[in-house]
Amino acid sequence: MADESQSAGALAGIRVIDLTRVLGGPYCTQMLADHGADVIKVEPPGGDEVRDWGPPFRDGTASYYVGVNRNKRTMSLDLTVPKGREVLLRLLETADALIENQKVGTMERWGLGYETNLKARFPRLVYCHVTGFGATGPWGGLPGYDAAVQAVSGLISINGSRESGPVRMGTPMVDMGTGLYAANAILMALLERQRSGKGQFLDVALFDCAIALVHPHAANYFMSGKAPELIGNSHPNISPYDLYQTQGRPIFLAVGNNRQFLRLCQALGKPELTRDARFLTNQDRVVNRAALNDELGRLLAKRDGAALADQLLADGVPCGAMLSLPEVFAHPHTQHRNMVLNDGAYRGTGIPVKLSRTPGRMRWAPKPFGADGREVLSEAGMSAAEIDDLVAQGVLVEQRRRSG
């Protein structure tokens, strides 16, 4: 196993200019930065607004920002003025990728559009534009936030129970999923560039990514023609697949085949369920889901959920006793998998993708606003006097300009 403290990361040598704010783009670039890319986060003069999305706060910065902005260098430019755009163009001279989530048409209005301005000047640049709905079409150019896109993409319509009604997913899966798609797109384009020598434009929309995440409900609809119904914790295609009450913790059973169902029934002391005509196959168990849940509910109500989950997992039955987040982060397996990072006052979720030879690592916590502007511009060949002049003109911003 490689020594994480020494790894430069799989993306060492790749430079990314990050103009994104809020969640999808920053989540993407944090993943790239975790694996060694030199991500330069360029914030507007007012800062990334999620710095204010709290409480909780530490040193005036919200946890929302801290959670998706580690391992990045940060600076602020006023791109609304020509001099700020000149500085950005200078940074792009050594950049491999640019990712931004400005409103459609903004970059073009500033003379920074990919097709109109940047493609010819930086032919190897990979340019990723993250939007709510794309630039064209009936909703083209309209703003999109996670929950609103959950609504119009059908995700809310499939989440919840008959009792609760439609419910927003508890984590911002559209934003985070879009960030993952954007990271994949950037890596694909960089890989293709090795063959062609050319960059390209990447169009990544929250709406498109949300629709791509509606599985298996979309596939079921395309084949059956039936709109999905709200079924709570159950699965439309698998049974038993649900959260069950026990004497202790609730337990989630995710039984995907007959062998697993047999072992579950044996563990519950009722193997004859596997010979019941209603439950012979997964198809039978889905059709007779209510009857099966009644049977299992009675058996599970007599058992301790945590102990049973350990037994079933050892027997090869996918399941899990429900844990709270504090319990998850304290769990020995979470610690073993390095899924909590600690660096001084910083605590964050770990790096989920483990590369054996070039693993990602924590290099530094999220930086204060504008912390690296002078360093970045010095690397770009600017003198201290030039940088001071940019600060004096309000182009390079070192203190947030708070509105209101």
Domain harbouring 250, CATH code: 3.30.1540.10
- Catalytic residue, chosen from 48, 78, 146, 175, is 175
| Together in a domain, 53 and 189 | yes
Please work out, in degrees rounded to the nearest 5, the angle formed at the alpha carbon of residue 148 by the alpha carbons of 43 and 134.
65
| Together in a domain, 245 and 368 | no
Cα atoms in the Cβ-side hemisphere of radius 13 Å centred on 395: 16
The SS3 call for residue 396 is strand
Q: In terms of Cα–Cα distance, which of 267, 266, 269, 265 is closest to 278?
A: 265
Q: Is 398 exposed, middle or buried (0-12, 13-18, 19+ CB in 10 A)?
A: middle
Q: Please say if 175 is a catalytic residue.
A: yes
| Together in a domain, 148 and 74 | yes
| Together in a domain, 304 and 171 | no
Residue 240 CA, chain-centre distance (Å), reads: 29
Residue 224 domain flag: no
Position 2 scores a pLDDT of: 46
- Which H helix or E strand runs over 206? helix 206-212
| Together in a domain, 24 and 163 | yes
Residue 279 domain flag: yes
Residue 154 domain flag: yes
Residue where the block lists tokens 């003198």: 383
| Together in a domain, 126 and 161 | yes
Sign of CA dihedral 289, 294, 299, 303: positive
The crossing angle, in degrees rounded to 10, of helices 173-196 and 24-34 is 50
Q: Number of folded domains in the chain?
A: 2
- 3-state secondary structure string across 123-181: CCCEEEEEECCCCCCCCCCCCCCHHHHHHHCCCHHHCEECCCEECCCCCCHHHHHHHHH
Q: What DSSP state is assigned to residue 77?
A: B
| CATH number of the domain that residue 140 is part of | 3.40.50.10540
111-118: long-range contacts at Cβ-Cβ below 8 A with a sequence spacing of 24 or more?
A: 111/85, 112/79, 112/85, 112/88, 114/201, 115/201, 118/92
For the chain, how many residues are written? Answer: 404
| Together in a domain, 364 and 272 | no
| Together in a domain, 253 and 325 | yes
Residue 343 domain flag: no
Residue 234 domain flag: no
| Together in a domain, 319 and 361 | no
Euclidean distance between CA atoms 76 and 360, whole angstroms: 26
Euclidean distance between CA atoms 367 and 385, whole angstroms: 24
Position 222 scores a pLDDT of: 97
Q: In terms of Cα–Cα distance, which of 189, 200, 215, 233 is closest to 322?
A: 233
Position 6 scores a pLDDT of: 73
| Together in a domain, 121 and 159 | yes
- In tens digits, the chain (404 residues) has pLDDT values of 345 557 899 999 999 999 999 999 999 999 999 999 999 999 999 999 999 999 999 999 999 999 999 999 999 999 999 999 999 999 999 999 999 999 999 999 999 999 999 999 999 999 999 999 999 999 999 999 999 999 999 999 999 999 999 999 999 999 999 999 999 999 999 999 999 999 999 999 999 999 999 999 999 999 999 999 999 999 999 999 999 999 999 999 999 999 999 999 999 999 999 999 999 999 999 999 999 999 999 999 999 999 999 999 999 999 999 999 999 999 999 999 999 999 999 999 999 999 999 999 999 999 999 999 999 999 999 999 999 999 999 999 999 998 75
Peptide bond into 172 cis (omega under 30): no
Position 5 scores a pLDDT of: 56
Sign of CA dihedral 233, 234, 236, 241: positive
Q: In terms of Cα–Cα distance, which of 110, 75, 114, 79 is closest to 97?
A: 114
Position 7 scores a pLDDT of: 83
Residue 148 domain flag: yes
| Together in a domain, 145 and 290 | no
**Where in the sequence is the domain holding 278, given as residue range(s)?**
241-330
| Together in a domain, 319 and 364 | no
